[in-house]
Every structure is written in C-alpha cells, then in structure tokens.
Amino acid sequence: MGKVHNYSAGPCILPQSVFEEAAQAILNYQDSGLSLIEMSHRSKPFVAVMDEARALVKEILNVPDGYEVLFLQGGASLQFLMAAMNFLPEGGKAGYLVTGTWAKKAFKEAEPMGGVSLASSADKNFSYIPKGYEIPKDLAYFHLTSNNTIFGTQVKDFPESSVPVICDMSSDIFSRPIDVSKFDMIYAGAQKNMGPAGTTLVIVKKDALGRVNRRIPTMLDYSVHIEKESMFNTPPVFAVYASMLTLRWLKSNGGIPWITERNQAKADLLYGEIDRNPCFEGTAAKEDRSNMNACFLLTNPDKGEIFDQMWQEAKINGLKGHRSVGGYRASMYNALPLDSVQALVDVMQEFEKKHG
C-alpha cells in the first residue's frame, strides 16, 4: 500500500517501533508464553512496566521532588471533574481561561462548584489566546488548556500566578519544554503524543492535595490513586505499556530538546506554505498558532472537492477539520516525520499550479 501520512488528531500517529514492540507483547510478552494483556496487573512484569512509565515521565520532564505521577482512566474529560473535586473547596472560586471546546467543557464541570471564567476567546471563534487578564489572588486555582486541537491555538508563555495552576496538556505534552514546578497539577490524555487512548497522565504536587472541605468519592480522589500507585483498580495495561514504549523512544532520540527542534521544523514548513500560497489561509492568530494542530482553509472553498481528491491520492489521512468548524487540520504530533509534512506541502503547491 505504501506509506500513509497520518494527520489524525487523536487517536493519532505513534512511532512505528512502538507498534512493532507492542504487537509482539500482545502475542508473547518477554518470552513468557503469555500475552501482556492476559497477565495480572499485580504481576512483577507489569508492575515493572508501570514503575518504568512513571520514572520516564519524571526523567523526561524533569519533574521536581514532591510531585506524584499517575496513570488513570477516564480521559481528560474525567480530569475536568476530578480537578475541581480535589482542588476547589466548597464556597471557593476557581478561575478558568476558556480558549476552545475542551477548555469550555472543563469550565462547565467546575462552574456549579464555583468555577468562573477569567477570559475567553469565544468572541472570535477561539482563534486566539486571551492576554492581559488578571488572576485574582483569592482563587483556589487557575485552570488553562495549553493547546487547543480544534481551533489550532497554543499558549506560548504561561502566565505568572500567585495561586495554584492546573493545566490540561493533552495535545502538547512532551512536545516542548515545560517547567513543571510552575503547576500544581498537569494532566493529559495519552492519545496525542504519548500512547493509545485508554490512559491519562496526571502529574500532581502531593502537598497541594487534602485541602478541600468536601467529601471526594473514592474513585475521584487523587490521594487514593497515589497511595495505590495508580492501581486502585485494574489499570489500562496495554495503554500504559505502549505509553512506556513511546517515552523510551522519545528519551532514546534526545528527549525534549530533540523533539522541540523537530516539531518547530514541521510547523515552520507547513505554516510557511500556508502563508505563501494564495490558495490557503490560516485560521488562528499568527502569534498563537499551535505547533501541534495547524488549522487552515481554502481561499476558494468551491474547489474543496479537487483539493480533497489530491491529498487523498497522495496517501494523506486525517486532514479534515473538526466537524464543528470544517476546513482542514494538520495534526503534527511528535511521531509525525518531516517528510509527511513535505508531502502535504507538495500537494498544496501542486494545487496552486493547477487551480490557483
């Protein structure tokens, strides 16, 4: 069939070596005669997987002492609720930066408990990141979403805050340097840069917990999951294992410095073509453009069927924009190679020659 250039927004592309090693583990894990997914999660082989996955997160992101790393279930959507349950006391307030669909959903979960919107970019269809807003000192925490997959915007500089900061980094975790010490909690669904869908990474400052005056259901209590080392209930074994393999791949290639340079090269190549080519236009404010999700439109939408046929014939997959906004979205997560971006740029240039 030949190479497919996978721009899917999530579940998304992962390194080929991860697929190959994970496939072997499904058939026969470490010559044990057993599949990874039929072993007890309490067995020594899987406990070693969980321990290594957590250790790799700490090493790659330089997580400071005093933070715990968890692999949970329920996706980032469950974290919208868990964050508020664990950090927002009854009668308190939490501030939210509303920059897209998922940020809006996070705010919706917290609003009944005291969540307030500090700033929103809904006035321009979430095409920019608000700036110049104030973070009140009486908040229980400030919540933001680092990258907005649907609208293609990304927070480039995190604001200084005198209150605890919680960040949803689902779609750009491990893609660039971050100072974990600036956050009381970071959470991220695995299915963008870390692994297959099914597990969610949580990095939480341990002494920030236990301060709310509400009863937290056991399954939603971070302290419980910390005590049980991410195994309060049966963990998503395969998703954790594949995430561990992806983190090994990232570390072996040079970690965050390597992937940052690689991701910037991909973004520069594609945005350069979008800006140069009169057949296309970007949708996000240039200073807030995401390095992970480049959203763009045809300047002549009547030629959409022609362009669609061209990129599909070039074995490009997953380029359509989110159903709520239309247009096109090129998701350039860590494992997407530069030559896949070049393949898309080649199609865009050929389209210009024939139909511009």
Secondary structure (3-state) at 318 = coil
Query: Which pairing describes strands 200-205 and 67-72: parallel, antiparallel, or unpaired?
Result: antiparallel
Pairing of strands 153-154, 94-98: unpaired
How is residue 20 written in tokens?
């190959």
SS3 content of the chain, % helix, strand, coil (to 5): 45, 15, 40
State yes or no: cis peptide before 112, omega within 30 of 0.
no
Residues classed as catalytic: 102, 168, 192
Distance between CA atoms of residues 326 and 295, nearest Å: 9
Q: Within the chain, where are the H helices?
A: 16-27, 44-61, 75-87, 101-110, 222-227, 237-253, 255-276, 304-313, 338-355
- Please choose, from the candidates 220, 199, 206, the residue with its C-alpha nearest in 3D space to the C-alpha of residue 50: 199
* Type of residue at 332: M
115-120 and 293-298 as β-strands: parallel, antiparallel, unpaired? unpaired
* Max CA pair span of the chain: 65
Instruction: Give, rounded to a whole angstrom, the gap between the first and last alpha carbons of the chain.
Output: 30
Give residues with Cβ within 8 angstroms of 267, minimum separation 6.
289, 291, 294, 332
Q: Distance between CA atoms of 310 and 221, rounded to whole angstroms?
A: 50
Please spell the DSSP secondary structure of 106-153, one letter per residue: HHHHHGGGTEEEEEE-GGGTT-S---S----TT-SEEEEESEETTTTE
Q: Say how far apart CA 6 and CA 334 lie, in whole Å.
A: 12
